[in-house]
Structure 1
Amino acid sequence: MKMLFKLRTLKSSWTLKSPCRAFHEHPGLRASDLYSQYESVRRGAQEMPKYFNFASDVLDKWSEIEKAGKRPSNPAFWWVNGKGGEVKWSFEELGFLSRKAANVLTKVCGLQKGDRVIVILPRVPEWWLVNVACMRAGIVLIPGISQLTAKDILYRLQASKATCIITNDTLAPAVDSVASECQFLKTKLIVSKGSREGWLNFTELFKNQSADHSCVKTRIQDPVCIFFTSGTTGFPKMVEHSQSSLGFRPLLSERYWLDLTASDIIWSTADTGWIVTSLASLFDPWVFGSCIFVHHLPQIESATILNTLSRHPVGTLVGAPTLFRMLVQNDLSSYKFMNLKHCVSGGEPLNPEVMEQWKSKTGLDIHEIYGQTEMGIICSVFKGMKIKPGSMGKAAPFYDVQIVDKNANILPPGQEGEIAVRSKPIRPLGFFSKYVDNPKKTAASERGDFFVTGDKGTMDEDGYFWFIGRDDDIIISSGYRIGPFEVESALIEHPAVAETAVVSSPDPLRGEVVKAFVVLSSTFSCGDLKSLAHELQEHVKKTTAPYKYPRKMEFVQQLPKTVTGKIKRNELRDKEWGRM
């Protein structure tokens, strides 16, 4: 499909400036063609290029800039393991190493352009090497979270028809237990210091490979990654993204959600299996020549996070709300974040109380983002934008975001509806290509001229969006519609509450009522939980509309969560309704 990119057709709530602010701060960078090649596209003066490959058209260009001495001395990639281990790569070194890795995949494993490879690795340097190597070879990478079970791996191998899987010692036994049922799987590649029967050893093969590799020519709409959704409403779906939606998109907007320069260092704590890692720890920072910082983080622990922020010059931190809720429970007075300037939270709404605590303890704001696997970042509170606690900001560049009803009619400010992104007549840059092997789902995701997210929300008069909940999270009690997030935000303002999740619970009179699962703060002690429950109920009545208070309450040690920190409300709800 011929695709024109014209800014006048895109309704964005943010003014687009240059594609890379780094070029203004370092005028010598204009010596490369990274700016001039895409500036005319940004201005709508020409069509998008027919061919594009992130490895050759972005990473290799930064390598040229670097060799010319026109980029700050930051590494391109900086990895630590918390035990003294450290890896630093320049863009030139990244290019050299990723070409060697590409030869492992093509010359040794026999993979060809268009083949699919499942990569399940923790936060180790090889994950980034394999990503870039796949781009160079035109191989479609399918990331997986490191907590996948054998059943999960079997489903992904069968659904994706992947011909190769790359993982480590931890998950290799799980792969072996299901490999015989995967007819398309030809090659198993292990990242390990030791050998394993039936597996090729990436670490050993890599040592002996040449760095002589020519990047394949890929069309801008060729697939580059397939992400499996979290599967909260059925089996995980395969979301295909192209060179255009992942790699070319950030070239055309400097004021996307991160607003980075070549001098910046960014750290995202997300698991490698999710799209936020590809965005915040690969494509978007490297478009701007920034340094990607990675900590191995076998476990997400407050002390590790805080010590790392104190000892390393991280300027931008990206994490799930769970991360910030965890950090504010600590005494932060002994930590000094000398370089930290920009904090970003996404994955689910962040409670205003947590934002206020983080601000009072660190002096830093938290900027919320909202997105989906299908479209990346949809809304964001950009740098310099007024923060409205509880709001996820305004529409991201390239996206016309609206609140619509069941007939795809745009609703006025203040009225509740479904969050939707205009997808017709021109499909926005940044959109996924399709749900792989699922044309019915691809078609069903659109309503009128919009892609519907399945999330409920409102938009205010200033264009700020406010999340209410997933369509199936909404509680209807005695005819009142209640969004769980507002009740949760009210509860977490109370000093006794560390975390909470609100779901519907059956009730013979009202049909369903609000039930709150509450994790108590470690600093709070109360022997009479019945009295505390009543106190919390009264607190909610005073903080929000009285009819929204939780008529049922249960105190728990922890809440069920996904690996990205999202609370599994569906699991709690199913338990309440006897569906487990």
Structure 2
Amino acid sequence: MIEKFVKQTQFASHEDFVKNYRIEIPENFNFAYDVVDEWARTNPNKRALCWTNDKGEHQDLTFAQVKTLSDQTASFFQSLGIGRGDMVILILKRNLEFWQSIVALHKIGAVAIPATHLLTDKDIVYRANAAGIKAIVASDDENLVTHINLAMPKTPTVKFRILVGKNNIPEGWIDFHEGVKKASPFVKPEHVNTNEDSMLLYFTSGTTGQPKMVIHDFTYPLGHITTAKFWQNLHENSLHLTVADTGWAKAMWGKLYGQWIVGACIFVYDYDGRFIPEDMLRIISTYKVTSFCAPPTIYRFLIREDLGKYDLSSLEYCTTAGEALNPSVFETFYKQTGIKIMEAFGQTETVATIITFPWMSPKPGSMGVPNPLYKLDLLTPDGRSAEDGEQGEIVFYTKEGKPLGLFRGYYRDDELTAQVYADNTYHTGDVAWRDEDGYYWFVGRTDDMIKSSGYRIGPFEVESAVMTHPAVVECAITGVPDEIRGQIIKATIVLANDYKDKANDELAKEIQNHVKNITAPYKYPRIVEFVDELPKTISGKIKRGEIREKKIEML
């Protein structure tokens, strides 16, 4: 399958890769027809999805079954008048129905909006009105259904509420399974889409302000060939698990597009409630998962377990993204498993743009090197291209054309789009530096940078140092105004259970001295605050702005 889009998939060197790696873009590409249905035609019994849940249920789907289910679901949506360009929000957790629904929406040219079940009625009102949502497809979650119902009087564009449930269907809702079951045979629309049509919309969870609407076109899945083949190192015999709810953009990185293009089987562990490390390790062992991708936070929990109790011999490859990886986590995981975690960087607005490629030796904490499909630069505050060792904002130049996977803009907000994407330059808002070997290192968001006594300090480098202390589970570094230094560094820390009763001045001093020994002394946190939890967005991003605004408590 991948050879349809990439003429050369094996490379003699990184230089060969940079020079010759190209992705062919078919006219009017549609992932549902050109990948899913094509697999169903050429290899119908090939396993596409392996699904299990925390109740012990298990189901496999072949590509032939995915085609049949998505055809039926597409016909059901058509019967409701949903078609090309219509906005449909999918709030389906890790339910199997997510895959048949999103593929079905692609087949009729509608716009899929994956979303988290953690949304409140206020969140739903904002999203429905901002995007003009026509239908909501939701999991059978009592709390979620309540919030959606409360939102309805304030969401005039929403015409249909569709419930994926096994119980009684509430008044005003349509039974998803019954609708799919009774649907007429699917008839493909005469013209489904162009490459430039909107296919996918994400509400980003920014740490300030209302979420932005990131819009991607129908070529977006092709950008994830790089993600799956050359970051996650997947092949046709891979069983890949990405730890992400389908409501987050990370699910598109690891639970759909690139994986199916390269022919890998997607593994889904559907669980409710909090993440339990022992359960995840047991699942990996039982189902012989070969490839694993999770944010650094998950790895931090995993390395606190006795990994020797589990048979992880099936694991071939592990990757991480979403935030920068602390070197201490990399080293501990490697010592316990023999597997080096390969890091990458990207945004909801992009695919993987800086990658530790399979043929590279990873440097713990480094994102890797640029994806050759993206023309990357680091810009200093005065507009220069940064030298090696110098910090700069990550930007992408698009004068030679929009690279695959880069968003088309913020939906219905030309002004906001122009603030970050103008003059053929996309500004990521993320700061990094490049070492002498060409590896890139994450520093932080441009608005999170700390300027203290003339030094420009990124929060991540201090957080990495703080995180190496055994008492620390989570940490957020922010700048606090100071008359003499301009800003001083504050560490807001969540302690491990064994240290919670030691949250005092003595432990704060110990952590401060520890940081002085780990990194340059001027970077140590002069203020330390212990908290039970860090304020976060619904996607798990730390709300540094909220921490900065909080009254300072000197310890």
Mark yes or no: TM-score above 0.5.
Answer: yes
> Are 1:257 and 2:231 counterparts?
yes
- Of 519, 535, 547 in structure 2, the residue corresponding to residue 544 of structure 1 is 519
Q: Distance in 1 between the 2:6 and 2:271 partners?
A: 42
Q: For 2:108 and 2:500, how far apart are their aligned partners in 1?
A: 58
Note closer, same or farther for the CA distance 1:355–1:339 as it changes in structure 2 (3 Å cut): same
**How many angstroms apart in 2 are the aligned matches of 1:254 and 1:354?**
23
Corresponding residue for 1:490?
A: 465
The CA distance in 2 between the partners of 1:325 and 1:515, in whole Å, is: 22
1:181 aligns with 2:154: yes
Q: Which residue of 1 aligns with 2:545?
A: 570
Q: Distance in 1 between matches of 2:422 and 2:84?
A: 34
| Residues 1:561 and 2:509 are matched in the alignment | no
Partner of 1:24: none
CA drift of 1:511 comes to 3.2
Aligned residue for 1:64? 41
Structure 1 counterpart of 2:135, from 160, 164, 169? 164
- Seen in structure 2, the aligned counterparts of structure 1 residues 405 and 447 have a Cα distance that, compared at 3 Å, is farther
Give the Cα–Cα distance (whole angstroms) in 2 for the partners of residues 345 and 565 of structure 1: 15
Q: Give SS of 1:393's match.
A: strand
Q: CA deviation at 1:531?
A: 1.8
Q: Distance in 2 between matches of 1:114 and 1:525?
A: 52
Residue of structure 1 in register with 2:82 after alignment: 111
Measured after TM superposition, the shift of residue 14 of structure 1 is 6.4
**Residue 435 of structure 2 aligns with which residue?**
460
Amino acid at match of 1:110: G
Segments of structure 1 that go 5 or more residues without pairing to the other structure are 20-38, 68-72
Judge conservation of contact 2:226–2:258 (CA < 8 Å) in 1.
no
Change (3 A) 1:302 1:251: closer
Q: What's the secondary structure of 2:448's corresponding residue?
A: coil
Paired residue for 1:198?
172
| Residues paired across the two proteins, number | 539
Higher relative contact order (CA 8 A, sep 6+): 1
User: Does residue 415 of structure 2 align to residue 440 of structure 1?
Assistant: yes
2:32 to 32, 51, 55: 55
Q: Does 1:138 align with 2:115?
A: no
1:300 to 1:15, Cα distance in 2 relative to 1, 3 A: farther
Given that 1:166 and 1:191 are in contact with CA atoms closer than 8 Å, whether structure 2 keeps it comes out as: yes
Aligned to 2:322, which of 347, 357, 362?
347
Amino acid in the other structure paired with 2:110: I
What one-letter code is carried by the residue in structure 1 that aligns with 2:93? P
C-alpha contact 1:321 1:350 (8 A) present in aligned 2: yes
Q: Which residue of 2 aligns with 1:101?
A: 73
CA drift at 1:198: 0.8
Matches within 5 A, 1:492-511: 492-511=467-486
- What is the CA RMSD across the aligned residues, in angstroms? 2.5
Q: Which moved more, 1:271-280 or 1:567-576?
A: 567-576
* Counterparts in 2 of 1:269 and 1:253: CA distance versus 1, 3 Å: closer
Offset at residue 217 of structure 1 (A): 3.1
Map of 1:423-434 to 2, 5 A cutoff?
A: 423-434=398-409
- 1:380-405 CA-to-partner distances (Å, cap 9, x unmatched) read 11212111111111112411221112
Kept in 2, the 8 Å contact 1:150–1:175? The answer is yes
For residues 248 and 328 of structure 2, the distance between their equivalents in structure 1, rounded to whole angstroms, comes to 27
Give 1:417 shift: 1.2
- Out of 114, 123, 135, the residue aligned to residue 152 of structure 1 is 123
Out of 53, 61, 64, the position equivalent to 1:89 is 61
Give the counterpart letter for 1:444 in structure 2.
Q
Deviation at 1:66, TM superposition (A): 1.0
**Worse-matched range after superposition: 554-563 or 376-385:** 554-563
Q: CA, structure 1 residues 528+422, in 2 after alignment: closer, same or farther (shift >3 Å)?
A: closer
Work out the CA distance in 1 between the residues paired with 2:84 and 2:493. 50
Post-superposition offset of 1:432: 0.8
In structure 2, the CA distance between the partners of 1:538 and 1:258, relative to structure 1 (3 Å rule), is same
1:153–1:125 Cα change, 3 Å: same
Distance 1:253 1:318, change over 3 A: closer
Return the offset for 1:355: 0.8
Measured in 2, the distance between the counterparts of 1:103 and 1:449 equals 40
Shift of 1:42: 4.0
Equivalence for 1:365: 340
Deviation at 1:495, TM superposition (A): 2.1
2:113 aligned counterpart, secondary structure: strand
1:530 paired with 2:505, answer yes
Pair 1:339–1:290, CA change in 2 (3 A): same
Does 2:271 match 1:317? Answer: no
Q: Which residue of 1 aligns with 2:199?
A: 224
Retained in 1: the 8 A contact 2:203–2:214?
A: yes
Write the letter of the residue equivalent to 2:51. W
Q: Compute the displacement of 1:463 (Å).
A: 1.8
Give the secondary-structure state (helix, strand or coil) at the position aligned to 2:73.
helix
Write the letter of the residue equivalent to 2:182. N
Q: How many angstroms apart in 2 are the aligned matches of 1:263 and 1:519?
A: 41
For the residues of structure 1 that align with 2:47 and 2:548, how far apart are their CA atoms?
46
Deviations 1:271-315 (A, max 9, x none): 212211012100010111110111112131112111111111211
Find out whether 1:124 has 2:88 as its counterpart: no
Partner Cα distance (1:162, 1:49) in 2: 29
Give 1:227 deviation, angstroms.
0.7
Does the alignment pair 1:207 with 2:181?
yes
CA 1:271 to 1:570, structure 2 compared with 1: closer, same or farther past 3 Å?
farther
1:18 and 1:252 in contact (8 A); partners too: no
8 A contact 2:365–2:441 mirrored in 1? yes
- In structure 2, the CA distance between the partners of 1:322 and 1:42, relative to structure 1 (3 Å rule), is closer
- Segments of 5+ residues of structure 2 without an aligned counterpart are 8-12
Distance 1:17 1:483, change over 3 A: closer
SS, match of residue 472 in structure 1: helix
2:10 aligned partner: none
Paired residues of 1:154 and 1:178 also in contact (CA < 8 A)? yes
Aligned with residue 447 of structure 2, among 465, 472, 481: 472
CA distance in 2, matches of 1:220, 1:79: 31
Question: Residue in 2 aligned with 1:30?
Answer: none
Distance 1:17 1:74 in 2: 32
Going from structure 1 to structure 2, the CA distance change for 1:42 and 1:536 (only over 3 Å counts) comes to closer
Does residue 300 of the first structure (1) align with residue 275 of the second (2)? Answer: yes
Distance 1:17 1:381, change over 3 A: closer
Q: Which moved more, 1:212-221 or 1:508-517?
A: 212-221
Contact kept in structure 1, 2:243 and 2:294, CA below 8 Å: yes
Structure 1 residues 393 and 17: CA distance shift in structure 2, 3 A: closer
* TM-score, normalisation: structure 1: 0.88
Give distance in 1, aligned partners of 2:37 and 2:340: 35
| Contact residue 160 and residue 173 of structure 2 kept, 8 A | yes
